Amino acid sequence: MKLLRLLVSRRWLAATLLVLLGMGIMLRLAIWQLDRLQERRAANAFLRQSLELDVLLLQPDTAIDDPAAWKNRRARATGTYDFGAQIGLKVQNWQGQPGIHLVAPLVLADGQTAVLIDRGWIPDSEAAPENWPTYDEPGILSVEGYVALSQTLQRGNSTPPATPQQEWYRIDIAAIQPQMPYRLFPFYLLQAPPPTRTQSLPYRSQPEFDLSEGPHLGYAIQWVLFTLVLGGGYLAFVQRSQGRD
């Protein structure tokens, strides 16, 4: 009780309020990290569920209400590549080597619907469009991969170029759509690598999924400890100061 009266006395009141403010801020930061932890756990649970679902068969009449709900889902589409509409995704690398990814529309059976397929990486030495036919895969193919969302720069804003482009820095489906003669699915597929380790160009890699909980719990504990150190240190300082008076 004596210490409490001392803390709210005229001499220490301002310092006490400042310390309480600091402790409150640190506790709020701890709660924020715990909230982030819960969000991370929920996202991990959603990802695990997506990875455990059966392979999605993309058909011309497949309804896509919310593309984000399909993210990372394993999917398969059957059709024919239109290599005349193929584009190159620039500034890509493979084990530290620069190159591009080849992205082509796979046209489904109706001839009016297509899904963009990221077919994999080729080196910069082969990045010129005249070299792309080397990697064509003709005929009807069944392509399996992982659903990836359209990439935009600013909150979903997409501005199509004035003329068709063969080289892009991102797969922005809304911007690419006007230069395609088909209706594109609102997502694209990252083509899965072959089941054997040996593969030829274009190289494909298995997506890496981070299912860890991140550092949020550790950060929350740190902020709680900082709060206790600040409060305990202040009380000890006030008591020592009073003893010297």
Is 30 a residue whose pLDDT tops 60?
yes
The candidate with the shortest Cα–Cα distance to 103, out of 143, 64, 63, 75, is: 143
Coil, helix or strand at residue 121:
strand
| Confidence (pLDDT) at 157 | 62
Contact (Cβ atoms closer than 8 angstroms) between residue 166 and residue 82: no
Q: Average of pLDDT values for 181-194?
A: 93
| Confidence (pLDDT) at 244 | 63
Coil, helix or strand at residue 234:
helix
pLDDT top residue among 197 and 44: 44
**Structural domain boundaries of the chain?**
2-45+213-244, 73-191
E-only strand ranges, the chain: 56-58, 74-81, 87-94, 97-107, 113-123, 140-149, 167-168, 183-191
209 phi, psi to nearest 5 deg: -110, 125
DSSP of 123-170: EGGG-SGGGGGGG---SEEEEEEEEEE---SBTTB----SS--SEESS
pTM here?
0.74
| Confidence (pLDDT) at 46 | 80
For 14-25, how does the pLDDT look when each residue is reduced to its tens digit (9 = 90+)? 888 999 999 999
Any idea what DSSP says for residue 70? Answer: G
